[in-house]
Structure 1
Amino acid sequence: MNGLDEQGLKEKLGIESWRHLSKDRFLSFVSEMPNMSTDVALKIIDQFPDFKSLVLDSLGDVHEQATNALTSNWKSQKKVHRAFAEYRAILRQELDRDGLTSEDRFRILAMLGEIIDKEAAKDSEHKAFAYKLTTTVGGAAVIGLGIAFAVLGGKSEIGGGERT
């Protein structure tokens, strides 16, 4: 721990008092908890009338932001898949044209193969984004709750003893 004190933390978060700690800045506060002594963390937490609600509300906001990001990404994905489908339909029509040489048909088939590969890559990109977002948000939530409740556990003597 680097022993971040209360005033230093307020300055780092850009607030004048703990009454000005918004839900957005609360997550920054939680991420700084490992850099504080337990005494400083408990002193700060004592100034919050309902710490548990602030934790749960903040995590709810993070969940909502992640859900919105996934929804937006999926809408974009659907547009891309529609464009790929239209392109494949055009190439199929080209294959049906009379008078195409074997060379023309092979070129169109190669274009179909390329577009299928590109669409598969886009799908994999979306899945990787969704996985990364889910694991990042989930990890942040677990870490944030773990830190917050570890400090609270020491405060309320959960687990049989007070923290030192």
Structure 2
Amino acid sequence: MKYKNEAEIMRALGIDTWRHLSKEKAVKFAAMMPDMDTEVAMKIVEQFPEFRKFATDAFGAIEKAHEATLADGRHSLDQVYQALREKRVIFERELHRGDLTWEQRKHLLELIQETARLASQKDSEHKRHVDGLLRKVMVGVGSGLALAVVFVGGRILTQGKEEPDDSGES
């Protein structure tokens, strides 16, 4: 075992109390668990009403990251919509010219319809992309939290089976 007590683990994480365990350092903590003495790991996890707070904070951070991604994607999408609106204005202005043939008018109407189709297509693509990102992040964080708890519990169960029976029987 690389880490035999809480002080060593806190030193490795660069914190002086578990209250200072940031989301990033909690991920590092989970990665360090295989190198911890099981009892020390359990003592730390038992202190985690902070763990519940960490999970809440982690999901809060996910929500903020998701909102930032949405805002960034929304900004990009708004630029596409603005460009398509500008094209429609130009096409509509051209439609009002009196010297257009039927074929030219038909072509302009098709271009206006195409801008509407493109806007709808971009909106659908954006929604699928955002949905996929959110699912990946939620699965990743949820799995990480679950694995950390399962890992600690599994190590305790395994360690308990390896210990000799106190009754003296073999």
Query: Normalization by structure 2: what TM-score?
Result: 0.64
In 2, the alpha carbon distance for the partners of 1:110 and 1:123 equals 20
Residue 89 (structure 1) aligned with residue 89 (structure 2): yes
In 1, the alpha carbon distance for the partners of 2:39 and 2:98 equals 80
Q: Deviations over 1:18-73 (max 9, x none)?
A: 3346422433554x47xx64965764464575451334323322221112211222
- Higher alpha-carbon Rg: 2
* Structure 1 vs Structure 2 CA RMSD: 3.3
Q: Matched residues, percent identical?
A: 26
Query: Bigger shift: 98-107 or 39-48?
Result: 39-48
Query: Normalization by structure 1: what TM-score?
Result: 0.66
Q: Measure how far apart 1:94 and its partner are.
A: 1.2
- Structure 2 contact 13–29 (Cα < 8 Å) conserved: no
Q: In the alignment, what sits opposite 2:74?
A: 74
In 1, the alpha carbon distance for the partners of 2:74 and 2:106 equals 33
Which runs of structure 2 are paired with 1:27-66 in the superposition (5 Å)?
27=27, 29-30=29-30, 32=31, 37=34, 43-44=40-41, 46-47=43-44, 50=48, 51-52=50-51, 53-66=53-66
In 2, the alpha carbon distance for the partners of 1:40 and 1:132 equals 38
Q: Deviations over 1:98-154 (max 9, x none)?
A: 010122112212322332232222112211221112211221232123223324656
Structure 2 counterpart SS, 1:97: coil
Q: In the alignment, what sits opposite 1:116?
A: 116
Q: Measure how far apart 1:17 and its partner are.
A: 0.6
- Structure 1 contact 63–137 (Cα < 8 Å) conserved: no
- Could you list the runs of 5+ residues in structure 1 that have no partner in the other structure? 8-14, 156-161
The correspondence for 2:14, drawn from 16, 19, 42, is 19
- Could you list the runs of 5+ residues in structure 2 that have no partner in the other structure? 4-9, 16-20, 159-170
Q: In the alignment, what sits opposite 2:138?
A: 138
Aligned length: 144
- Structure 2 contact 2–35 (Cα < 8 Å) conserved: no
Residues 136 and 6 (structure 1 numbering): CA distance in 2 closer, same or farther, change over 3 Å? farther
In 1, the alpha carbon distance for the partners of 2:120 and 2:67 equals 23
